Structure 1
């Protein structure tokens, strides 16, 4: 029998829908893979994903994930990331995607240094009333960390991490944990006092497989987390704290001067966090964790109260509160943002200058490292940007002013690779005579 167009149309109408879909029709043809995008990049607020020139995820905001989309399987499949709505490629990679497999593409990294990590979503489900939990540490700035899931009031010193010593750029295997609601805490490896994240209300569901993705906060030391459930939801566990430290640099040539700084979040005494009390010049205190958001800095020098200063602390940030001046009556407070992110190169370090010398308050300072210009014209009570330089184990640092030339030096300093350093210039008595001095300190 001769088959004409009408016979073909009738035959097509009788075929099962699944067969038609397998031959095209815009659905999964049976040879496709599935992929979704998770935006864990601190540098990009929203991202698009294209796979082989087809946009499969649009406007995926930081801390969220897209739905799975059907994508072409095979060798050399192009994955391209762009800022949401842009055609400019931020990162282009070629991958092999298996037919019928599911993937989660995790985008991470700072602006200008975007990277990805491909999770293959093929882990067997956890047992009933259990959750499998793994960790992916994308925070190169945080270094090695330990991760704890505990009851809300558990003492960390009496607790065991679910994973330990997870270095940046590493993914752990999965650990089986009883399902329930937990408090998530991340610390520097082996130091329960070095708290990088503290978030309650992390829900682990029965039979789920979850990857906790760690990503850096704005300052580089604190971290955020995202719970990426295989074949399920993506939940943000963002840091709600910031790190703040006090630097006392009020110098009186004859009388010891003592400063005090208190962070007050809501004008109630119970919320006060003391950054330092009876702190003499020159002193740098350790960073202290405080709740992020709008806070009031209450400062006094030798019992004389300075004007309150209200500042906004970004979650995950680092800040230096510099108390500086010649006397209690002329002291002031400077708030300095600390970019404590590590250099991206394994052979480089970062260095900056903080001008805290009242003797030189009317002069801008410059700094050279091994005779190379590093900082120019830095005003009193301020911090320079960081300069990125090649590591040296015997570097000479010289501080100069326009009228006096060299005012102080540091010789044969060990400026290690991947280090972050601050040179403070301040006043100190030397045999009863006040003079400018310099100190090299790790910034983190």
Structure 2
């Protein structure tokens, strides 16, 4: 009596024998056609050929129990760090591959054949591609596909994750930096003990430009205070994290992403073939604009931290970094408290705090991210002149903002950069501010202010980035 297993082996053997006979005949017919197809489509890959007649034998064999392990495959996972696409679907060669990749959450690894693939990224549920491109994946390799940027300028990179721990000295760990911020400029990374003054030390990684990946740096295993600054300026603090732990013989990629500030950054510590640890900034930036009547002197504190002391009107002060959250903000004009209230500053956001008129206070969120087009600029208008009608702004006689009331800001307009434009701000009846020779530098972010404090409104143009 023959067992079921024996019957299975015999049937499998028969199928393979029959397939081999058929394929032998088909190969003689189709081999010239395969050659023509390869000539006409050089990108035709072996995974495409696998579906053709000569590939059918291999499929027949795998159906008999072979090809079930992952040897020779590429392993890839996704980390969505987009600033405004909360969930992504990703296609591979026009076929849905990943659905619902949510912000700051690593997907599981997926196996794919080693080859070149066309990736296409979509907002979940949408059919519109936000970014696309070809990437080559090699056998037995691990990758994390990191998606970053804004929806209007989404991009992605495949980070390799196959460094050998045996290459690292005992008691050492390795760390590298990927700058996934289009707005922050080049960045420096410092890893120090808690109390070290950055002016007294050197960066662990330096001048990491947007979209670039640094090499690995060996560090002694242990815990560090992590700080990120603008390139070459240790006082220009962008991120400050109390503790990052580097484990011996591990590899960490610190991914830095932008915020709506355009200056502050968030961090994500990605362990090779391991987890990701978010490291949010925890900071906001605030500048004080003094626009009080009678050249009033403006003072401001946030949770006891001075932001301005006797700032004479009209003046636009510099940005200061503060702890985000809900705290008491005290506002004084000529030494007298005109406002003491709980206010909320969101993490990673820039603000203009304008004190105008007899003591009115406006807290305005600033989007200081750079234009996505490298030949463009951003420009808006802020109205801080008490007793002045709503304002209209025009650039080279073309209106860019209108109906801007006291204490408010217009939306940003995106304009072509220029070495000489005319800027006009007016009410319905009067010209308030004119400059007929303004330079708007590409990738700049500008605010035109109309402020009080004098007998007539004062116009000021400031380059915020």
TM-score scaled by structure 2?
A: 0.83
* Contact residue 78 and residue 146 of structure 2 kept, 8 A: yes
- Quick one: which of 126, 134, 142 aligns to 1:94? 134
Partner SS for 1:307 = strand
Check whether the contact 2:326–2:345 (CA below 8 A) recurs between aligned residues. Answer: yes
Does residue 340 (structure 1) correspond to residue 375 (structure 2)? The answer is: no
Deviation at 1:130, TM superposition (A): 1.1
- Measured in 2, the distance between the counterparts of 1:145 and 1:381 equals 35
Tell me if the contact between 2:298 and 2:309 (Cα under 8 Å) persists in the aligned partners: yes
Is the counterpart of residue 384 in structure 1 residue 427 in structure 2?
Answer: no
1:231 is aligned to 2:273: yes
The structural deviation recorded for 1:99 is 2.1
Counterpart of 1:36 in structure 2 is 77
1:282 and 1:426 in contact (8 A); partners too? yes
Deviation of 1:55 (Å): 5.4
After TM superposition, the structure 1 = structure 2 runs for residues 188-267 of structure 1, keeping only pairs within 5 Å, are 188-252=230-294, 256-264=295-303
Shift of 1:8: 4.3
Instruction: Kindly report which structure 2 residues correspond to 1:17-28, keeping only aligned pairs within 5 A, or say none.
Output: 23-25=66-68, 28=70
CA distance in 2, matches of 1:247, 1:151: 36
Partner residue of 2:35? Answer: none
Count residues in correspondence.
415
Q: Does the 8 Å CA contact 1:218/1:315 hold for their aligned counterparts?
A: no
- Offset, 1:359: 4.0
One of 135, 159, 170 as aligned partner of 1:119: 159
Q: Please name the residue that 2:6 is paired with.
A: 7
Matched residue SS, 1:287 = strand
Q: Residue 401 of structure 1: CA displacement?
A: 0.7
Post-superposition offset of 1:105: 0.4
Pairing 1:179–2:178 present: no
The alpha carbon displacement at 1:214 in A equals 0.6
Q: Structure 1 residue 352 and structure 2 residue 380: aligned? A: yes
Distance 1:90 1:181, change over 3 A: same
Q: Highest Rg: 1 or 2? A: 2
1:270-281 paired onto structure 2 within 5 Å: 272-281=304-313
Q: Given the alignment, which residue of 118, 140, 162 partners 1:78?
A: 118
Question: Which is helix-richer, 1 or 2?
Answer: 2
**Alpha-carbon shift at residue 324 of structure 1 (Å):** 0.6
Partners of 2:387 and 2:280 in 1: CA distance: 43
Cross-structure match for 2:51: none
Contact 2:296 2:453 in 1 (8 A): no
Check the 8 A contact 2:175/2:253 in 1, yes or no: yes
Q: 1:426 matched to which residue of 2?
A: 451
| Shift in alpha-carbon separation, 1:87–1:391, aligned structure 2, 3 A | closer
Partner of 1:67: 108
1:307 & 1:225 partners in 2: Cα distance?
35
Q: Distance in 2 between matches of 1:145 and 1:300?
A: 37
Unpaired stretches in structure 2, ≥5 consecutive residues: 13-61
1:136 aligns with 2:161: no
User: What is the distance in 2 between the residues matched to 1:22 and 1:94?
Assistant: 33
Asked if 2 retains the 8 angstrom alpha-carbon contact of 1:359 and 1:435, the reply is no
Q: Is the contact made by 1:352 and 1:383 (CA closer than 8 Å) also made in structure 2?
A: yes
Shift of 1:56: 5.2
Kept in 2, the 8 Å contact 1:64–1:235? The answer is no
Q: In 2, Cα distance between the equivalents of 1:356 and 1:145?
A: 35
TM-score between both structures, scaled by the size of structure 1: 0.87
In the TM superposition, 1:400-439 aligns within 5 A as 400-404=426-430, 406-427=431-452, 429=454, 434-439=455-460
Aligned-partner Cα distance in 1 for 2:95–2:142:
17
CA contact (8 A) 1:149 1:185 kept: yes
Any idea what the Cα deviations from partners look like across 1:115-141, whole Å, max 9, x if unmatched?
Answer: 101112233323322111111101111
SS of the aligned residue for 1:358 comes to: coil
Q: How far apart are the structure 2 equivalents of 1:250 and 1:310?
A: 21
Q: For 1:315-346, what per-residue CA distance to the aligned partner results, in whole angstroms no more than 9, with x for missing partners?
A: 11101111011x3xxx2100100000001111
Q: After superposition, what is the alpha-carbon deviation per residue over 1:237-262, rounded to whole angstroms, capped at 9, x for unaligned?
A: 1111111111110122xxx4111111
